[in-house]
Amino acid sequence: MRRLATRSIVAKAARLHLALFAALTMLAAHAQAAGPPVRLGEYLHAVETGNLDLESQREGVASARAGVSVAGVRPDPQLTLGVVSHELYGPNKPNATTPLTAGVAFTIETAGKRGARIRAAEGSAHSTQATLDAAHDQWLIDASAAFVEACRSREVLARKQASLRSLRDTVRANEVRFKAGDIGRLELRQSRVEAERFAVDVNAATADAEAALINLALPLGRPFDAVFSGATLDCELRTQATAPDIDAFVDRAMEQRRDVRAARAAVDSARDAAELARANRWVDPVVSVGLTNTPRVNPVVDGGGAVTNSPTLQRSLTLGVTLTVPIPLSRMQDGELRQAESALTQARLQLTSVLLKAQADLRVTHSRFRAVTANEINYREHVLQESESVLEGARTSYRKGASSLLELLNAQRTADQIALDHLQAQADLANATVKLQVNAGMRPDL
């Protein structure tokens, strides 16, 4: 009779603890829901507007676009003003004049240099923009992974805290059972030790969850709370249910992938640079047009009234045109041209490499998506429910004294590990979905 009474007390205490645990869980959920939840799309928008690396690369794009205007500038004309000659020794040429000259020189660009410069600058700007787009996609993938990891870490912590509360409930129930004489001191101590071991796991999970939240600041370029003050994460991620057709996915993604576009833009930019190098091998003649003004020369008369110089009673204004053509001795070496052609060859090889890697990456992404989808469904629909049923049965059996503490602990650890594996499967599926969407040219939407 005493044993039956003790079991009744233990059962009532267990039910009380379960009711208290459910109430605390509801309060925690309500408190969490009360905060403003931040969805993945909102977080990614903040990343796009605040990421320091992206902002730095945007300045590079602005600089490259400004280079197009610089490339279109024509050579400045040269203005010449000067003295043709000035007699320094007056007695040698009495009454000598000082002719003045003024001229303008124009450089004539040959071989379409200006157009080649503009095309090269436009190609550089396009390549810089494509590189920014590729970096933008990678930042979306990395930022999404950070968001998913923060959600996973939070759920891991919640699971381990729930397990710790359950074990501490078991310890309290064992204290009652020990006083009633149903279990010995060794089993009570062992349950306390196991509860403290679970407390260590909770501490580690707490640190991991805090670190994951801190890491959200890296893509943002500032602390998470500075952007979303007092906000919580909305971790109800809507992952894609089915994988697209592999061939259609690869064909579409090869046209949309930013790294492929960046590699193609690099080839175009290198081709334009090679054309500019060829155009620069042509010399540019200089045409000079000038006027020379020679003042009148007054007659010089000696004491006998004779003119001793050669006077000119009218000033002289003459026009001069010259053409200057550089002798292209420096064009005997073609190092700049060979460098440009080598850069073009490298860009073409890099494009081929990027295309091969992109196709392989797309097929791996597609295959991984199908695998993690199957894993998540298997955990959610089969393994997780069975493990929780086994755990609940082990708890009931232990409360009734039909099983040992070791069996309960094994069931708890197994259920916890399966729950953690399911959370990891959910995170893998979310990351795979994001990568699948980005590769298809879509904005991540979970």
The predicted-structure confidence for 286-316, as pLDDT tens digits, reads as follows: 999 999 998 887 777 777 777 766 777 678 8
**Residue 34, both tokens:** 């009360």
Band of pLDDT at residue 80, cut at 50, 70 and 90: very high
Could you count the other beta carbons within 10 Å of the beta carbon of residue 203?
10
C-alpha separations of 69 from 37, 115, 277, 284, 322 in Å: 46, 12, 19, 21, 31
pLDDT band at 93 (very low <50, low <70, confident <90, very high): low
In which band, very low, low, confident or very high, does the pLDDT at 31 lie, cut at 50, 70 and 90? very low
| Domain boundaries 77-87+94-108+282-298+314-333, corresponding CATH code | 2.20.130
Chain region(s) in the chain for CATH 2.20.130 = 77-87+94-108+282-298+314-333
Token pair 């310890």 in the structure block, residue? 171
What beta strand segments (E) does 65-99 contain? 78-83
Residue 233 CA: distances (Å) to CA of 85, 211, 316, 403: 85, 15, 89, 41
> Using only C-alpha atoms, what is the Rg of the chain?
42
CATH code that applies to domain 2-71+111-278+341-439: 1.20.1600.10
Every domain range in the chain assigned CATH 1.20.1600.10: 2-71+111-278+341-439
Contact partners, residue 14, CB within 8 Å, separation at least 6: 169, 173, 399
Amino acid sitting at position 216: L
**Nearest residue to 135 via CA among 209, 210, 53, 213:** 53
Query: Which positions ≥6 away from 347 have C-beta within 8 Å?
Result: 263, 266, 267, 269, 270
Share of the chain above pLDDT 70, in %: 89
Distance between CA atoms of residues 420 and 152, nearest Å: 9
- Lowest average pLDDT, out of 4-13, 101-110, 356-365, 397-406, goes to 4-13
The residue among 67, 64, 72 whose CA lies nearest residue 131 is 64
Confidence at residue 403, expressed as pLDDT on a 0 to 100 scale: 84
Q: What does DSSP say about strands 316-324 and 37-38: parallel, antiparallel, or unpaired?
A: unpaired
Structure-model confidence comparison of residues 16 and 441, the more confident one: 441
What's the rounded mean pLDDT across residues 196-202?
92
What is the dihedral sign for C-alpha 33, 36, 38, 42? positive
Phi, psi of 299 (to 5 degrees): -70, 145
Residue 3 · residue 182 · CB < 8 Å? yes
With CA atoms as reference, report the closest residue to 169 among 198, 210, 147.
198
Q: To which residue do tokens 């500038």 refer?
A: 73
Q: Highest-confidence range of 224-228, 271-275, 359-363, by mean pLDDT?
A: 271-275
Q: What is the pLDDT of residues 351-363, one digit of tens each?
A: 999 999 988 988 8
Task: Please determine, for residue 28, whether its predicted confidence score (pLDDT) is greater than 50.
Answer: no
Torsions phi, psi for 13 (to 5 deg): -65, -40
Cα first-last separation, the chain: 58
Q: Which residues pair with 312 in a beta bridge?
A: 297
Sign, CA dihedral 250-256-257-260, equals: positive
CA distance 376 to 378: 5
